[in-house]
Amino acid sequence: MHQFRSISLNLIYFLNILLLFLLVFEDKVQVPVFLQVAGRMHPLLLHFPIALLFIGLFIEWFIVRKQPSNESLKEVTYFIFNVLAVCAALTALFGFFLYKEGGYQGEAVVWHKWTGVVVSVLAGLLVWMKDKAPTFYFPTLLISAAAITVTGHLGAELTHGEGFLTEPYRKQAQNRVVLIDNPDSAVVFRDVIQPILNEKCSSCHNTNKAKGDLILTDYTSLTKGGENKDCLVPGDAAKSLLYKYALLPMEDSLHMPPKGKQQLEKEEIRLIGWWINSGAKEQEKYVNLPKADSIHPIIASLFKPKTGLDLLQIAFADQEKVKTLNNPYRTVQQLSASKPYIAVFTGSRNNFTTQDLEELKELREQVVSIDVGNAKLKDQDLKALQQFPHLQKLHLQNNPISDAGVKQLSGLTYLESINLSGTNITSQTLNDLSGWKNLKKLFLYNTNVSEEQIAKLKEKNPRLEVYNTSLDLSDSIYEAALSTPQCKIDSAFFHHQATVEVKLGRGNIKYYYTVDGSEPTDQSILYTNPFDIDSSVQLKIMAAMKGWKDSPIATYSLIKIGPKPDKVTLETKPDRKYKLPPDSMLVDEKSGSLYRYDKEYLSFPVEDLQASFMYAKPLELSQVSLSYLEDVENGMMPPHYMEVWGGSSKTGLKKLGMIKVEDYPEAVRPAAKYVLTVNFPKQPVSYIRIFAKNNSSFPEWHTLKKDKDAKPRLQIDEVSLE
């Protein structure tokens, strides 16, 4: 034990002297990578000195003090405090390395750093005082306990955000007091956006801990941005990283908040996107901004006491059950992670039956919205809706139902919105609806109800919103356009065939697609059922519906993986700024994302792509496909054309075919992946060479044209030979 105490005491002196030396010359210290790794062990080590100090304090105060002659107990405390002093010094030292790595700033960091040093020094003094100055030992022990408590509190605030300790009390106080009753009085950034950022983002982006040099605790810091200045681009949510990163898949390394942290809800992401598109102003009140139909209910719910369904404390549905009830013709979706409410869409089907609703009886308490529009419902079918007592929204548009059918719905006391457009109702229904106290919205397009009858209804119910003349385009933020189609595809790369399935939207939406890279129109192939793809294609699909703007076109690059070459050679080398990859990356069957720095890409600045593929035995081939990323704004341009050469040997090649990029960008457009495919008569080949032409400079219209250091790049993903 004596030897252990001697070695540990020398180690304690050395570590504390080293720590103080580094702090004195802090500005001159550069931390190498291996010490940065050690610095990241700071959170792992810090728990040991905290636990050891309070264990030692307990033993000294309640046991050793009452048995001063017990040498065994004294040896235990010697051991505990020697280990404590070593761990405290290492924790402070590793914390210094972590601090020097960057990302932490502000007054709290400075206090945490120095209180950590104080704890380390006090722990060393405790070891010395136990024998040399017993009079000061216990006071120092109590001071050390206080110091380590303060240090731990400051560290928790750096990790979890300011006020972490008292957050439950603050949230309780916020829940008790409704500061704003009317959403029109709300300052959108202060009362809506900043609270979201405070709750979900500020623990990593505050004045003390600024990951990526980004601070999100105030408007000025938000607009300043961090390492990347595009955190907030007022008027353009699509270019704002604050919004873009929240939309990335959870497994993406750029997704924010990071996996494991409290995530943004769908409604919160919508609010952030809407605020940015509305100009992202700091002092703008909600009353002065465009009232988007998809946003107003979310805003309104933030500034009013709980009413209606929120008072019922409805339990959440079994999520596995929700999944089993989903199929290609019926969507069952929970509307929010924080509330149990569920929306159901079963409309626009020729084979709809009330059995589709009967199967949902286990979710009868949670279902608040049902869309059975265009489903050819009859009056007797509406009885099935009575089993959902908490319905708030009901879409019955374009069904052959009459007054008698609608009258059966009078028991739905929570109903707030009903769409009866294109039905056979008359003014009798208006008389029945006047008694529905919670009804707020009524849609009556293309019915036999006259303007005069509607005017009388409004006079009796001035708060009821009735839509009956033309399509309401007040939601100008979204321009009444259909959403981009979403496809479920087995894999972007496949060996035999890939199945494409379109997730159907609400209403009588039609989907048109092409597989030759051309832009789809209403004359293209009409999607009816899932279909198979058995060759490399560029799939483009759009949604269309009468009275609505066509959706943006969704593009999917599908590559059929042919026989793998025995040897691949990159005859032009990728950018050396990237980690030099193996030539076989061209045929590794790994798909790159839309992130331009994805390591699955080979990047060629200015250089053309030239690569060769060799087979030990001749193979019958008829097609070569090349997939690439186009991100025009950031300089990732498509090749001008691609040529394919082949033959029985390297010296006996002939040109098999070529393809030009007809739609070469004439302006910035969204990043997307594309496929170039060269077809040629089937023939035996042992050697293939491809050539993709890059551009030596940017087009005249490109903003990077003026940047002498910027170069157009080919961002190549995969090559397939079939």
Task: Say if residue 453 is in the same domain as residue 317.
Answer: yes
Which pLDDT score, from 0 to 100, does residue 102 have? 58
Q: Where does the pLDDT of residue 470 fall: very low under 50, low under 70, confident under 90, or very high at 90 and above?
A: very low
Whether the pLDDT of residue 181 is over 50: the answer is: yes
Q: Where does the pLDDT of residue 536 fall: very low under 50, low under 70, confident under 90, or very high at 90 and above?
A: confident
Residues 381 and 171: their CA atoms lie apart, in Å, by 46
Identify which of 96, 55, 98 has the alpha carbon closest to the alpha carbon of residue 77. 55
Task: Say if residue 583 is in the same domain as residue 601.
Answer: yes
Whether the pLDDT of residue 475 is over 50: the answer is: no
In a domain? residue 482: no
Going by the DSSP 8-state scheme, the letter that residue 485 receives in this structure is P
Which pLDDT score, from 0 to 100, does residue 108 have? 64
Structure tokens at 598: 């994805």
Structure tokens at 449: 């109800």
Which pLDDT score, from 0 to 100, does residue 175 have? 39
Which pLDDT score, from 0 to 100, does residue 379 have? 92
Task: Say if residue 423 is in the same domain as residue 518.
Answer: no
Whether the pLDDT of residue 174 is over 50: the answer is: no
- Output b/e per residue, 535-549; b: 16+ Cβ within 10 A: bbbbbbbbbbbeeee
Which pLDDT score, from 0 to 100, does residue 697 have? 85
DSSP codes, 10-74: HHHHHHHHHHHHHHHTGGG----HHHHHHHTTHHHHTHHHHHHHHHHHHHHHHTGGG-TT-HHHH
Whether the pLDDT of residue 588 is over 90: the answer is: no
Q: Where does the pLDDT of residue 331 fall: very low under 50, low under 70, confident under 90, or very high at 90 and above?
A: confident
Structure tokens at 691: 């050539």
Return phi, psi of residue 174, to 5°. Answer: -65, -35
Which pLDDT score, from 0 to 100, does residue 261 have? 67
CATH code for the domain in which residue 703 is found: 2.60.120.1190
Which pLDDT score, from 0 to 100, does residue 176 have? 33
Task: Say if residue 332 is in the same domain as residue 418.
Answer: yes
pLDDT tens digits along 35-81: 666 666 766 676 777 777 777 777 777 777 667 666 677 777 777 77
User: What integer best gives the mean pLDDT of the chain?
Assistant: 80
Whether the pLDDT of residue 695 is over 60: the answer is: yes
Task: Say if residue 264 is in the same domain as residue 401.
Answer: no
Which is it for strands 417-419 and 393-395: parallel, antiparallel or unpaired? parallel
Structure tokens at 361: 């009886």
Cβ atoms of 621 and 679 closer than 8 Å? no
In a domain? residue 455: yes
CATH code for the domain in which residue 375 is found: 3.80.10.10
Q: Where does the pLDDT of residue 238 fall: very low under 50, low under 70, confident under 90, or very high at 90 and above?
A: confident
pLDDT tens digits along 265-287: 888 888 999 999 989 999 988 88
Of the three residues 282, 302, 322, the one that is the final residue of a domain is 302
Cβ atoms of 520 and 506 closer than 8 Å? no
Which pLDDT score, from 0 to 100, does residue 158 have? 59
Between helices 71-101 and 2-24, what is the axis angle to 10°? 30
Return phi, psi of residue 437, to 5°. Answer: -65, -30
Give the residue numbers spanning the domain of 188: 170-302
Question: Cα–Cα distances in Å, from 16 out to 10, 98, 118, 567?
Answer: 10, 17, 10, 58
Q: Where does the pLDDT of residue 179 fall: very low under 50, low under 70, confident under 90, or very high at 90 and above?
A: very low
Task: Say if residue 584 is in the same domain as residue 620.
Answer: yes
SS3 of residue 544 by DSSP: strand
SS3 of residue 616 by DSSP: strand
In a domain? residue 308: no
Whether the pLDDT of residue 513 is over 90: the answer is: yes
Q: Where does the pLDDT of residue 684 fall: very low under 50, low under 70, confident under 90, or very high at 90 and above?
A: very high
Task: Say if residue 434 is in the same domain as residue 498.
Answer: no
Which pLDDT score, from 0 to 100, does residue 385 have? 92
Domains held by the chain: number: 5
**Residue 596's CB: how many other CB atoms inside 10 A?**
17
Task: Say if residue 688 is in the same domain as residue 715.
Answer: yes
What's the whole-number mean pLDDT along residues 202-228? 78
In a domain? residue 479: no
pLDDT tens digits along 8-31: 777 877 877 877 777 777 766 766
Regarding predicted confidence, which is higher, 424 or 229?
424
Task: Say if residue 92 is in the same domain as residue 178.
Answer: no
Question: Cα–Cα distances in Å, from 470 out to 216, 294, 474, 482, 497?
Answer: 42, 19, 11, 17, 45
Cβ atoms of 382 and 406 closer than 8 Å? yes
Estimate to the nearest angstrom the gap between the alpha carbon of 289 and the chain centroid: 26
Task: Say if residue 541 is in the same domain as residue 584.
Answer: no
Percent of the chain at pLDDT > 70 equals 84
Q: Which residues pair with 493 in a beta bridge?
A: 559
In a domain? residue 498: yes
pLDDT tens digits along 359-375: 898 999 999 998 888 78
In a domain? residue 548: yes
DSSP codes, 246-282: HHS-TTSTT-SSPTTSPPPPHHHHHHHHHHHHTT--S
Of the three residues 524, 540, 559, the one that is the final residue of a domain is 559
Which pLDDT score, from 0 to 100, does residue 321 have? 87
SS3 of residue 612 by DSSP: strand
In this prediction the pTM is 0.38
SS3 of residue 135 by DSSP: helix
Structure tokens at 70: 């017990």
Weakest-pLDDT range from 268-272, 510-514, 577-581:
577-581
What's the whole-number mean pLDDT along residues 301-315? 72
Question: Cα–Cα distances in Å, from 601 out to 357, 573, 574, 642?
Answer: 47, 13, 10, 18
Start-to-end CA distance of the chain, whole Å, equals: 74
pLDDT tens digits along 108-162: 667 777 887 888 888 778 777 777 777 777 787 788 778 887 777 767 665 655 5
Regarding predicted confidence, which is higher, 718 or 482?
718
Q: In what side-by-side order are the strands of the sheet with 510-514?
A: 493-494, 554-560, 537-544, 510-514, 525-526
Task: Say if residue 122 is in the same domain as residue 177.
Answer: no
In a domain? residue 224: yes
Residues 517 and 538: their CA atoms lie apart, in Å, by 5
In a domain? residue 347: yes
Amino acid sitting at position 478? Y
pLDDT tens digits along 376-422: 889 999 999 999 999 999 988 888 999 999 999 988 989 999 989 88
SS3 of residue 488 by DSSP: strand
Residues 90 and 119: their CA atoms lie apart, in Å, by 11
Whether the pLDDT of residue 643 is over 90: the answer is: yes
Question: Cα–Cα distances in Å, from 442 out to 399, 429, 464, 468, 641?
Answer: 16, 11, 7, 9, 55
Of the three residues 467, 496, 518, the one that is the final residue of a domain is 467
Which pLDDT score, from 0 to 100, does residue 404 have? 92
Q: Where does the pLDDT of residue 316 fall: very low under 50, low under 70, confident under 90, or very high at 90 and above?
A: confident
Task: Say if residue 109 is in the same domain as residue 132.
Answer: yes
Which pLDDT score, from 0 to 100, does residue 132 have? 73
Going by the DSSP 8-state scheme, the letter that residue 190 receives in this structure is I
Q: In what side-by-side order are the strands of the sheet with 487-489?
A: 487-489, 498-502, 531-533
What's the whole-number mean pLDDT along residues 670-685? 88
Q: HEC states along 560-574? A: ECCCCCCEEEECCCC
Which pLDDT score, from 0 to 100, does residue 472 have? 40
